[in-house]
Chains A and B, each alone.
Chain A
Amino acid sequence: QSVLTQPPSVSAAPGQKVTISCSGSRSNIGNNFVSWYQHLPGTAPKLLIYDNNKRPSGIPDRFSGSRSGTSATLGITGLQAGDEAEYYCGTWDRSLSAGVFGGGTKLTVL
């Protein structure tokens, strides 16, 4: 059981928009910045969003992030076949004194 809760899967058609939620608590999302990662099988995870809503260099603005209270959301617009991957939220947990991830959400582009 992951500390952060994500839906197991989401799906949408090419060109559409999808959102992925991440729910936590005051000890993690409520008081720390959230990051989002994209993970394709056999590759290294890639940082998509950091500090709740910032994009590293090279990440297209189709990817966006937001945080409200103890929840965070990743948004992806203009879906492409290449966006099919597992997506994870992550942050620091003050009570655990450890990093934490969500269980991952499998995105399917129909």
Chain B
Amino acid sequence: EVQLLESGGGLVQPGGSLRLSCAASGFTFNNYAMAWVRQAPGRGLEWVSGVISSGTTYYAASVKGRFTLSRDHSKSTLYLEMNSLRADDTAVYYCARDLDGDLESLDFWGQGTLVTVSS
């Protein structure tokens, strides 16, 4: 059974940093592209970042230069390092697996972890 378990969310002050983790199980992690998607309170889904099997990473314009996506194949874990956090980064952050490697379709999602940026 495919499982994605996010952790690392919490309350952080503006300008602070946080690292999210997504522990994957039930599939061969190395073979899949992965992504982070967030949902701010009262807003829709927003694509944040993704990585394909080659290791190439992509970022939304709103987080480029502040967020860094990485993956540890030995631990089957995806990370999102978030720096210079702002109030508008407050959201539930979901980790998701891509269906076929092109970051067009996300077939399994975690339950999400809440990040709150506030003083």
Contacts and interface: CB of A to CB of B under 8 A. Distances in A.
Contacts of B58: 97-99
Interface residues of A, number: 29
A99 B50 contact: yes
Contacts of B111: 43-44
Contacts of B47: 90, 98-101
Interface in A24-64: 32-35, 37, 39, 43-47, 50-51, 56
Contact of A92 (B37, B60, B103): B103
Contacts of B44: 2, 86, 88, 101-104
A35 B106 contact: yes
B67 to A, nearest CB: 12
Interface residues of B, number: 26
Interface string B40-57: 000011110010000000
21 contacts: A32-B104, A34-B104, A37-B106, A39-B45, A44-B110, A45-B94, A46-B109, A47-B108, A50-B104, A50-B105, A51-B105, A90-B47, A96-B61, A98-B60, A99-B50, A99-B58, A100-B47, A101-B37, A101-B44, A104-B44, A104-B45
